[in-house]
Chains A and B, each alone.
Chain A
Amino acid sequence: MAQAPPAPAGPQGRFVVVLDAAHGGDDTGGRLANGDTEKSFTLAFSVRLRSLLTARGIQVVNLRESDAGLDPNHRAELANHANAQACLSLHASESGSGTHLFLSSLQSPARRGDKNPVQPARFAAWKTAQAAWVPRSLALAGVLNSALQHAGMTVTLGRAAMPGVDSMACPAVAVEIAPERNAAQQTTAELDNADYQARVAAALAAALLEWRSEAHP
């Protein structure tokens, strides 16, 4: 069981961001163009993003600090214990272009037509815990989308079934970073381009700062 959405944190509440570097251990994820693995990329990127966020006074919980395998339930368990105001699942892929933002494909209670979408109950079903958080996750995706587009990046939005994210009781978005391509689909920045990684990380950090100002007005 996971906690149902609490009331928004007040000015005195702490602001915590969970960074989940996808894959790890035997689960290497995808293979990148430079021969690197997705698990290595996401781990390095999560460390880079943590540095940026910590420098801005945001408390960060990294779910994976080494090349260790974590199953989706354990990831969700760690994220839910953090009581975070934002949970980002970090991925990388050679397919597509720019940054892909994915939300859980679970339907929010309001969309299903429930009369009382956010129940005051303390617990929610584990595998569908994210359903109650979908509206907040959608709002977080909107802030991330704006910041990335403001930084001149291509962004696509989608929804997918994600076993780890579906069990998270926090505003959660999966961020998949792909090479930067122009309108003719020619690659302008590969994933291993340090400048490109820095621009994506800076845009995500700016978005989370804005998200904090919304959560702590």
Chain B
Amino acid sequence: MIPRHQRIILSVLLVASLVMGVVLWQLRERAHQRLMAGEDSAPTRAPEVAPAEQATLLVASDADNTLIAQARSLPLPADPGARARAVLGKLLEIYSTPDALHPAPGGANSVTQVFLLPVVGEKDPQHPDAQLAVVNLSGAFVASHPSGLQTETLTVLSICGTLHANLPRVTQVRFLVDGVQHSTLAGHADLTRTYLAAEAVPTEGTHP
């Protein structure tokens, strides 16, 4: 004969087991639903490709120390910073090709970011909304750039001129390398100063 208090305890344990089983089942269902909801949130559409537009690139030539304006059609995002990066990426992609007139390895990923900031200090009445572009170059690009006064100067001026040609509000350009200030590009071109973008824009075929 089972004592009464033991029957009560067994009944309570049985009920508790059933309740716990139901709760566990419900938790499992909720976890499954959350998992399925997470899968649903994954992108199922390809990112929208920016429409192709005409961009002006100031392409350098080592043979005669010139910057020549070239029109290229390429996808340009609406955001000005992303637009500037896309244009410079195309410029540096040209320099990384085997038959480039101004060889510089690295390609489109050599420009990590371009930040556009309002120019501080004395305002130019001709450009009241002038912008300063801060170009963040990758350390790998700088480390592999050919050394020389002419080649480094052409790279810097072609970047400045290309930015100004496509974003006319950009009147000044500064450079960073992997997010920090760097003394020179490859031993010669000064990267600590602010470059005036308009000075790099040549008339057809002239020396910078």
Q: Which A residues are closer than 8 A to B by beta carbons?
A: 23, 27, 29-31, 38, 91-97, 100, 102, 105, 156-163, 174, 176, 178, 181, 185
Which of B150, B193, B195, B207 is A96 in contact with, Cβ under 8 Å?
B150
In the assembled complex, B65 has its CB within 8 A of some CB on chain A: yes
Tell me the B62-119 residues at the A interface (CB within 8 Å). 62-65, 103
Pick from B4-12, B19-27, B127-135, B183-191 the stretch touching chain A. Answer: B183-191
User: Is the Cβ of A161 less than 8 Å from the Cβ of B190?
Assistant: yes
| Inter-chain contact B187/A95, CB cutoff 8 Å | no
24 pairs of residues in contact across A and B, judged by CB atoms under 8 Å: A23-B187, A30-B186, A31-B147, A91-B148, A92-B148, A93-B146, A93-B149, A93-B150, A93-B151, A94-B146, A94-B148, A95-B62, A95-B147, A96-B148, A96-B151, A100-B149, A100-B150, A102-B149, A105-B199, A156-B150, A160-B153, A160-B188, A176-B149, A178-B148
Give bound CA distance, A202 to B206, whole Å: 29
Which residues of chain B come closer than 8 Å to A158, judged between CB atoms?
65, 149-150, 153, 207-208
**A43 vs B186: C-alpha distance when bound (angstroms):** 19
Cα separation A163 to B188 with both chains bound (whole Å): 9
Interface residues on B, range: 20 to 34
Q: How far is the CA of A159 from the CA of B150 in the complex (A)?
A: 9
Taking A91-B188, A96-B62 as contacts, is the C-beta distance between A176 and B150 under 8 angstroms? yes
Partner of B148, one of A30, A162, A163, A181: A30
Which B48-74 residues sit within 8 Å CB-CB of chain A? 62-65
In the complex, the answer to whether B147 meets A102 with C-beta atoms within 8 Å is no
B interface: dominant SS: loop
Contact status B146-A30, CB under 8 Å: yes
Q: How far is the CA of A100 from the CA of B189 in the complex (A)?
A: 14
A162 close to B190 (CB less than 8 A): yes
User: Are B148 and A157 within 8 A (Cβ)?
Assistant: no
Which chain B positions have C-beta within 8 A of A174?
149
Chain A residue with Cβ nearest B148: A93
Within 8 A of A (CB), among B152-208: 153, 186-190, 193, 195, 199, 207-208
Closest residue on chain A to residue B199 by CB atoms: A105
Most buried by B among A29, A93, A95, A163: A95
| CB-based nearest B residue for A93 | B148
Among B65, B147, B189, B199, point to the contact of A156 (Cβ < 8 A).
B65
Residue of A nearest to B103 (CB): A95
Contacts of A29 in B (CB 8 A): 147, 187
Residue of B nearest to A27 (CB): B187
Shortest distance from the beta carbon of A208 to any chain B beta carbon, whole Å? 20
- Across the interface, name the chain B residue whose C-beta is closest to A105: B199
B207 near A95: Cβ-Cβ < 8 Å: no
Most buried by B among A156, A157, A185: A156
Give the 5 A-B residue pairs with the shortest CB-CB distance, closest first. A93-B148, A30-B147, A156-B65, A95-B151, A96-B62
A97 to B102, CA, bound (A): 12
Say yes or no: B148 contacts A102, CB within 8 Å: no
- Chain B residues with CB below 8 A from A185, complex form: 63
State the CA gap A97–B147 with chains docked (Å). 14
Q: Which residue of B lies closest to A23 (CB)?
A: B187
Which of B103, B151, B186, B193 has the most chain A CB within a 10 Å cutoff?
B151
Which partner residue on chain A sits nearest B151 by CB separation? A95
A96 CB contacts on chain B under 8 angstroms: 62-63, 65, 148, 150-151
In the bound assembly, the distance between CA atoms of A38 and B64 in angstroms comes to 22
Q: How far is the CB of B161 from chain A (nearest CB, A)?
A: 14
